[in-house]
Structure 1
Amino acid sequence: MTALGGQHQDHEDRDQHQASDGQRVRKLLQSDGNGTGRHRCGKDTPVAETLSLPGFVDAHSHGFQRALRGRTGGGDFWAWRELMLAEAERQTPESVRRGYVDVYRELRAAGYTAVGEFHYLGFDEALAAVEAAAEARVRIVLLLAAYARGGLPRFRQDSVADYLRQLEALRDRGISVGLAPHSVRACPADWLEEIGRYAQVEKLPVHVHADEQPREIEECLAEHGLRPIELLERTGCLGERTTVVHATHADDSELDLLVGAGARICACPTTEANLGDGFLPVDRVCTRGIGICIGSDSNVRIDPLEELRELEGVARRQTGRRNVISTETLLCFGADEGAGSLGLEQWDDVEVDLSHPSLRGVEDAFEALVSGCGADVFA
């Protein structure tokens, strides 16, 4: 189980969530005491001095969407989606291989050392994404999207059995994978049921978009009489290996279902802001002890520290208080929770340049890293 469960009312209690799949950040900070993080950032810090941290984990990426950065036209999510579909239609294995190397190098330079690529462009393009990650020295988990309806023809499989055959073909090549029913819009209930059964038997991660947009919720209610997370629970797709991407408009009953299942939420704050999705109910999520990981998603910005600051910033605006989520917990969200979401037990460290101007003279490198630095502090 990844969530503590129950209603935690005070700041200290609700800040105690830990990822059962890895506690590297907490172990590092708790063993630090009065050591490296607090006393190695003086004005005379040697230029070469660095601090090792567990690398950040990007639990939700669509690499090809990086090509849409800077498109600041009007409209809503659905208007942007038309641009995204047009970009997806242009992709080939060659363009994915070339473009994703650049994206993954950006991820690596920004402090991410592992990525969950939520992929719906086709099988050969999936292999190209894996090759790109290897070249960029980023550990990848290929989250192969199941798509029964909607989107583009290239996204869709003929049946859920066909989808699982594709997933098995990736596994046969030694590729780390997760199941990714794209959404309750794209997958009917019988697909979700079969995917949930397979994931349970094979002990694989399940990632799914849910509650990102009000229209999605309205359509799910009209078809099933259930909200998206309720449908995931009803079909057996909600468990301790499940990560719900966004959950922006999840209500309290859905959040309680996540607690009961031990599921996580993947928040993608820079993308959610760019698309006008809304705000994750961060304080209500943390109060329940639900694990949060982060994703670069559309890759409009690639900076894990910015994603974490946005999470804390949203929580401050929602509560009218400062320091709603501790630095320790934010760093766990950025690393351990992402690794747990992808089923990773090992992923690379990242080096922080303590001589960087953003860190010179600070009393606590960890606090300063999260609250006041950009990704250029990583060596």
Structure 2
Amino acid sequence: MPDENFIQRLKNDIAARRQAGLGRELLPMTGHHGARVILDGQPHLNFSSNDFLGLAQDRDMAEKLAELCRRFGSGSGSSRLVTGTTRSTLEAEQALAEYFGYESCLILGSGFLANLTLIATLFSEKDTLLLDKRAHASTVAGVRHSRAGFHTFRHNRMGHLRKLLETYPAQAVLTESLFSMDGDSPDFNAVKCLKDEFGFLCIVDEAHAFGVLGEGGRGLAGGVADVAVGTLGKAFGMFGAFILCPAVVREHLIHFGQGFIYTTALPPWHGDMVLAMLERVRQCGEQREHLRRLGDLAREELSKTGLCIGGNAHILSLEVGDENRCQRLATKLREEGIVVFAARYPTVPLGQAILRVCLTAEHDVADVLRLRDALSSLIQKEST
């Protein structure tokens, strides 16, 4: 058995988190149907899903997956460098590269793994990296594993980035096209001007934009990013992730990327499903337009709750501040049959807790108005 002091230290860490209003719980869902989930045996309106286009619940895709599982089985049985790469995997990588406008592509197991592997593999203690202060935890983990020197620039502040570039010659700048918590985007015209002037490698995490934003869902950083990371677990309705990059970067990752080399490959049918889902994403123009209109409506209506609203697309941040209050509001909303994620430290900075609202193509106007009314009522009760 581990030393008792060690066990007590773990218990104390957990207790301190809970006391600070930062406790985390797993919510056991027993079913999904469109924008609804079944929780505690009851349907709940779900504003916490990244299934932005509703493809994870697509019946035709589910039937195709079942057919592929019957043909190929459930697992690959080895890493990609052994027998885990199928012809359809390579075809899917080529199709993704062509659709999003990059030279090549490499599929990995998850978005976190993709960012971690990419950054930790490409850079070393010889390099200097600049990253947005709100960069995703996977980006931060990759930077730390790389042992490169790094500095953070204030969130989306291109003027501050310029000052850092003038002070610290950097090999790369890392940012996101749609930030996962804030729901906002950098000025990519300004990023391009800085890139042209200073000559850095531009790496952009497009996980929350691909499939939804830009022409045909091609994201926001095309023509600016040298390397982009996308996920298959959000708008694509699946799992896994991909790195879009120059061919030499792909080759380098295959030779040196530990997160690629030493992990079991995705199932043998995964490439076929990626190809099918990519075709569906191409056809989702109506869903993208619906999301755009719904986002505009949600920003207007949710501002009536009295909370400050951040975000300019399908992810909205409702600023609460206090962690305990944020968790209370999320719990009360769940009692009203609405699931909204309370994002607290360390997901967001301490004292800057938010209610994170994710809109999907499965939501409608009535859903947004129901959230507005429920939240307004709860906030009004707080003041009485």
TM over 0.5: no
**Radius of gyration: which is bigger?**
2
TM-score (norm 2): 0.28
Q: Which has the higher contact order (CA 8 A, sep 6+)?
A: 1
